Amino acid sequence: MRGGSELELGKSNLPAAESELELGLGLSLGNGAWRERGRILTAKDFPSVGSKRAADSSSHHGASPPRSSQVVGWPPVGSHRMNSLVNKQAMKAEKREGKEEGKKKVMKEEDEPKDVPMKVVQGSGFVKVNKDGVGIGRKVDMRAHSSYENLAQTLEEMFFGMTGKVKPLRLLDGSSEFVLTYEDKEGDWMLVGDVPWRMFITSVKRLRIMGTSEANGLATRHQEQK
Amino acid sequence: MDLRLPSKVLEHIFSFVDSNEDRNSVSLVCKSWYETERRTRKKIFVRNCYAVTPEAVARRFPEMRSLTLKGKPHFADYNLVPDGWGGYAWPWIEALAEKSPSLEELRLKRMVVTDECLEKIAASFKEFKALVLTSCEGFSTDGLAAIAVACSNLRELELRECIVEDLGGDWLSYFPETLTSLVSLDFSCLDSAVKLSDLERLVSRSPNLKSLKLNRAVSLEALGSLLRLAPQLVELGTGSFSDKLDQEAVSKLSQAFSELKQLKSLSGLWDVHPEYIPLLYSVCPRLTSLNLSYATVQMPDLVELLSRCSNLQKLWVMDLIEDKGLEAVASSCKELRELRVFPSGAEDLDETNVAMTEQGLVSVSEVCPNLESVLYFCVQFTNEALVTIARNRPNLKCFRLCVMEPFSPDHKTQKPLDEGFKAIVEGCKDLQRLSVSGLLTDKAFQYIGTHGKKIRMLSIAFAGESDLMLHHLLSGCESLNKLEIRDCPFGDTALLENAAKLETMRSLWMSSCFVSFGACKLLSQKMPKLNVEVIDEHPPETRPDSSPVERIYIYRTLAGPRLDMPEFVWTIHKNLEIGVSNLAIE
């Protein structure tokens, strides 16, 4: 291990061999996230820059590159403002997908049906997230996210390091060793992803990233009849 | 001959020295001036709560009446600082309760304030007059009730963009009937509705009320009755602007607005229905400050409104205003000093027709001679526009440009925006705050280092090519006080080369860069007057020294190591054995 005194002016001290980074890998993280540590987003990760944006976004099926709206803390807009911004984006997304669901708003109890713009979701919006094997919990602002993809992206960055390459549905499609689950208003633990997003954010109380084997016993909303 | 002035005379002279910068200079002249100054300073600003201990501050300034404290680094606003990092108000409030019981005003920014804190304030400071919390979190509406019920001389209660656990609107009812001293009330960030009758009674027994900022839950109809009770308002933040009102209600509201002869500042305006915008016309000519940044008003209506605001100095608006709208602003609002344009989300990256471009800002810069502060979010920019803006407005003091797609080049020439920012720093010699964006090479930072001599705060994201970038900045920007950087490809060398510079700055934030743990340790060893914090969810001690860390936050401090660090913050004080044994110190 190089001592700190060997750091000199002019010499690049960037981590050279990947093998150096592999030492001391957190053993609970089996997905090679450490290999990506220190890899920051570069222009390659934003291919829509400088060319017709629409064309590029369609050429990346599935593994879509991080749009600037999916990078944590970008654009640099305060969270109060971000909530309004995200609500409008969610509205646009739903309009684009032609969902009638978009017309159903998140209601306060005393809300009457009237033609007003989307209201901000009630409550603080922050939900605790814990990952099995990691002592420190985090909090995510549900109101700062517009979709499951968005949320999974944030959680991946929080718990698996900055990956750069984005596979936004890793936590949601059952293909990795971890699944994302949530505790709803009734205290039941469910798999994330089965209900429409706007319904989800009103009922989610806590999030938990757990190992796939543990999650086998969980019900989805489809299976559970109330 | 004894030339010393008696301290009473000195005190009298110093009472005319308002600015703390001047007072700091005064206190350096000699011991007796230091002593006299410190006994007479009433307003204290601590811009980093970890730079000094509350006990030291209370001890030095026995006459402290007003304290302003800032906690978390600025990038906490964008969720880059994990929860639990710190910035707790409690140790300060506890210490002040004991040592400065005559405290009257507390202004906190980006701090964690709990209900216990608020209860302690209510119980400890008998003359408490003003509580202003900006971007704070950790408390609930119960804490507000505690303040309301106990502070019988309360003048200001302002919650600006705080995250509050909202347990309902009852807190407002706790203001006693005997409280008549209110000057400013801002609860715009709360969700729950307060009881209108309580609010009306509070307003009608507050003849000195000058500033009232309502939350979204206050309806348009309720606004009417409140305005009739407080025609003396100078600042108004409306609630939601979108009920369905009948003709009579509309004309009553219009009448109420026209009675606001002192109104200078208007904000709120959530959900504005276009048909209600004319209600505001009567106040427009007197307005100096207008915040439309939550108002989803389209360009034509914005133009109609702004064309009436000939005295406007500060405008916050969304990019719905478009280039055309900004041209109209330029021709109507010649007194404009500050312009902020926020993203509305309408400018989606999928849209090929972009209605707000660099042209909007260029128009304003051409025509408004007093424009000195700009915050501009947009989809694209050009070097030519930057050069023009710099030429038009050499008086710029604050220039924050956010081209929303990282690494965006000049959209006409596809070149980096280096030359454009060069023009800005070369031309605007008094520039104090700069945020850069778009595609930038190391050259841009060479220019900033060479010319940005007055820059105090600099924000950088997704830019540069190498260590040189940081080196240019740290060695060139003489006035640099706060530097915050994210996602830039540089590492240890520049940081260590310029270590001494860090003691002359308030703070440095770097996240998602290539700074290694070894460099952090070495820096901590070399610079004992700095706190070098590594904020990383995975303990850096378990990794090789050369591995990069997620975030570092470095700040000068007289207070020594923090005692309230969470697990994910590392400083050298945590693992003294590692710090000493592994390094060869020059």
Of A20, A75, A78, the CB nearest to B544: A20
B31 lies within 8 A of chain A by CB: no
* Residues B451-486 pLDDT 10s: 999 999 999 999 988 888 999 999 999 999 999 999
With a cut of 70, say whether residue B38 has pLDDT above it: yes
Q: What is the pLDDT of residue B130?
A: 98
Count of CA atoms in the C-beta half-sphere (13 A) of B131: 27
Of B405, B461, B493, the CB nearest to A9: B493
With a cut of 60, say whether residue A202 has pLDDT above it: yes
Nearest 5 degrees, angle CA B163-CA B537-CA B473?
80
Pick the closest to residue B175 from B193, B201, B139 (CA basis). Answer: B201
Rounded Cα distance between B453 and B468, Å, is 18
CB within 8 Å: A26 and B542: yes
Rounded Cα distance between B167 and B84, Å, is 22
**Angstroms from B343 CA to nearest CA on chain A:** 8
Residue to mutate among A14, A37, A122, with most B CBs inside 10 A, is A14
Cα-flanking dihedrals φ and ψ of residue B124, to 5°?
Answer: -105, -30
With a cut of 80, say whether residue B432 has pLDDT above it: yes
Give the gyration radius of chain B's Cα atoms.
Answer: 26
Q: What is the pLDDT of residue A170?
A: 62
Q: What's the length of chain B?
A: 586
CB within 8 Å: A68 and B512: no
List the alpha helices (DSSP H) in B368-466. 383-392, 418-427, 442-451
Instruction: Round the average pLDDT of chain B to a whole number and report it.
Output: 93
Cα-flanking dihedrals φ and ψ of residue B186, to 5°?
Answer: -135, 105
Chain-centre distance for alpha carbon A130: 14
Quick one: average pLDDT of B180-187?
Answer: 98
Beta strand extents in B77-161 (DSSP E only):
105-109, 130-134, 137-140, 156-160
CB within 8 Å of chain A, chain B residues 118-147 = 135
Of A12, A54, A89, the CB nearest to B352: A54
Helices (H) and strands (E) in chain B, counts: 21, 23
**Angstroms from A4 CA to nearest CA on chain B:** 5
Q: Please tell me whether residue B335 adopts helix, strand or coil conformation.
A: coil
Task: Show Cβ contacts of residue A107 under 8 Å, excluding neighbours closer than 6 positions.
Answer: none
Cα-flanking dihedrals φ and ψ of residue B67, to 5°?
Answer: -125, 130
Q: What is the pLDDT of residue B355?
A: 78
**Angstroms from A135 CA to nearest CA on chain B:** 9
Q: What is the pLDDT of residue A86?
A: 63
User: Do B266 and B241 contact (CB within 8 A), yes or no?
Assistant: no
A202 C-beta neighbours (distance < 10 Å), count: 15
CB within 8 Å: B80 and A126: no
Candidate from B280-294, B519-533, B540-554 with smallest mean pLDDT: B540-554
Contacts of B343 in chain A (CB under 8 A): 75, 77, 85
B249: tokens are 């209600």
Pick the closest to residue B71 from B105, B112, B111, B106 (CA basis). Answer: B111
A199 — pLDDT class (breaks 50, 70, 90): confident
Q: What is the pLDDT of residue B208?
A: 97
Pick the closest to residue B392 from B359, B356, B427, B418 (CA basis). Answer: B427
Place of tokens 């984005």: A166
Handedness of CA A112, A115, A116, A117 (dihedral sign): positive
With a cut of 70, say whether residue B139 has pLDDT above it: yes
With a cut of 90, say whether residue A206 has pLDDT above it: no
B293 lies within 8 A of chain A by CB: yes
* Residues B107-119 pLDDT 10s: 999 999 999 999 9
Quick one: average pLDDT of A156-182?
Answer: 68
**Angstroms from A176 CA to nearest CA on chain B:** 21
* Residues B369-422 pLDDT 10s: 999 999 999 999 999 999 999 999 999 999 999 999 899 999 999 999 999 999
**Angstroms from B80 CA to nearest CA on chain A:** 6
Contacts of A116 in chain B (CB under 8 A): 242, 271
User: Do B79 and A79 contact (CB within 8 A), yes or no?
Assistant: yes
pLDDT: which is higher, B199 or A24: B199
Rounded Cα distance between B263 and B234, Å, is 4
B546 lies within 8 A of chain A by CB: yes
Q: What is the pLDDT of residue A188?
A: 85
Give the gyration radius of chain A's Cα atoms.
Answer: 20
DSSP state of B216: T
Q: Please tell me whether residue A4 adopts helix, strand or coil conformation.
A: helix
Of A3, A43, A85, the CB nearest to B583: A3
What's the Cα-to-Cα distance from B448 to each of B422, B436, B441, B479, rounded to whole Å? Answer: 7, 10, 12, 12
Q: What is the pLDDT of residue B62?
A: 95
Return the H-helix or E-strand segment holding B492. Answer: helix B492-497
Of B344, B489, B548, the CB nearest to A37: B548
Pick the closest to residue A146 from A80, A74, A83, A63 (CA basis). Answer: A83
Contacts of B342 in chain A (CB under 8 A): 77, 81
Nearest 5 degrees, angle CA B181-CA B184-CA B189?
135
Pick the closest to residue B574 from B585, B565, B582 (CA basis). Answer: B565
Contacts of A7 in chain B (CB under 8 A): 492-493, 496, 518-519, 522
With a cut of 60, say whether residue B27 has pLDDT above it: yes
Candidate from A94-108, A191-205, B523-537 with smallest mean pLDDT: A94-108
Return the H-helix or E-strand segment holding B249. Answer: helix B247-258
Strand-pair partners of B339 = B315, B374
Contacts of A1 in chain B (CB under 8 A): 544-546, 582
What's the Cα-to-Cα distance from B328 to each of B284, B303, B309, B391, rounded to whole Å? Answer: 15, 6, 11, 21
What's the Cα-to-Cα distance from A192 to each of A74, A149, A219, B427, B542, rounded to whole Å? Answer: 25, 11, 10, 53, 33
Instruction: Round the average pLDDT of chain A to a whole number and report it.
Output: 58
Rounded Cα distance between B174 and B168, Å, is 13
Decide: pTM greater than 0.90: no
Nearest 5 degrees, angle CA B403-CA B456-CA B93?
105
Contacts of A161 in chain B (CB under 8 A): 538, 550
Task: Show Cβ contacts of residue B85 under 8 Å, excluding neighbours closer than 6 positions.
Answer: B72, B76, B535, B566, B568, B569
Rounded Cα distance between B188 and B211, Å, is 12
DSSP state of B516: B
With a cut of 80, say whether residue A59 has pLDDT above it: no
Contacts of B83 in chain A (CB under 8 A): 138-139
CB within 8 Å: A38 and B350: no
CB within 8 Å: B522 and A43: no
Q: What is the pLDDT of residue A223?
A: 44
Terminal CA-CA length for chain A: 59
With a cut of 50, say whether residue A122 has pLDDT above it: no
**Angstroms from B450 CA to nearest CA on chain A:** 21
Residue A174, Ramachandran bin (φ over 0: left; ψ between -120 and 50: alpha; else beta): left
With a cut of 60, say whether residue A215 has pLDDT above it: yes
User: Do A144 and A86 contact (CB within 8 A), yes or no?
Assistant: yes
Rounded Cα distance between B181 and A133, Å, is 54
Strands laid side by side in the A178-184 sheet = A138-141, A126-131, A204-211, A178-184, A189-191
Contacts of B135 in chain A (CB under 8 A): 78
* Residues B559-585 pLDDT 10s: 988 989 998 999 988 765 544 333 333
> Percent of chain B beyond pLDDT 70?
96
Rounded to the nearest 10 degrees, how much is the dihedral formed by the CA atoms of B136, B140, B142, B148? 20
Closest chain B residue to the Cα of A47, Cα to Cα: B407
With a cut of 60, say whether residue B255 has pLDDT above it: yes
Pick the closest to residue B389 from B450, B325, B339, B459 (CA basis). Answer: B339
Residue to mutate among A45, A115, A136, A153, with most B CBs inside 10 A, is A136
B466: tokens are 């190498």
Quick one: average pLDDT of B486-493?
Answer: 89
A217 — pLDDT class (breaks 50, 70, 90): low
Contacts of B497 in chain A (CB under 8 A): 9
Residue to mutate among B161, B490, B547, with most A CBs inside 10 A, is B547
CB within 8 Å: B82 and A53: no
CB within 8 Å: B566 and A14: no
Residue to mutate among A6, A13, A138, A145, with most B CBs inside 10 A, is A13
* Residues B303-353 pLDDT 10s: 999 999 999 999 999 999 999 999 999 999 999 999 999 998 765 544 445
Q: How many CB pairs under 8 A join A and B?
A: 202
CB within 8 Å: A75 and B343: yes
Return the H-helix or E-strand segment holding B219. Answer: none
Contacts of A74 in chain B (CB under 8 A): 78, 406, 461
* Residues A96-119 pLDDT 10s: 554 444 334 333 333 333 332 223
Angle between helices B322-332 and B299-306 (to 10 degrees): 0
By DSSP bridging, strand B569-570 and strand B130-134 are: unpaired
Residue to mutate among B541, B545, B552, with most A CBs inside 10 A, is B545
Task: Show Cβ contacts of residue B280 under 8 Å, excluding neighbours closer than 6 positions.
Answer: B257, B266, B305
* Residues A24-39 pLDDT 10s: 222 222 232 223 344 5
Q: What is the pLDDT of residue B256?
A: 96
B586 — pLDDT class (breaks 50, 70, 90): very low
DSSP state of A119: P
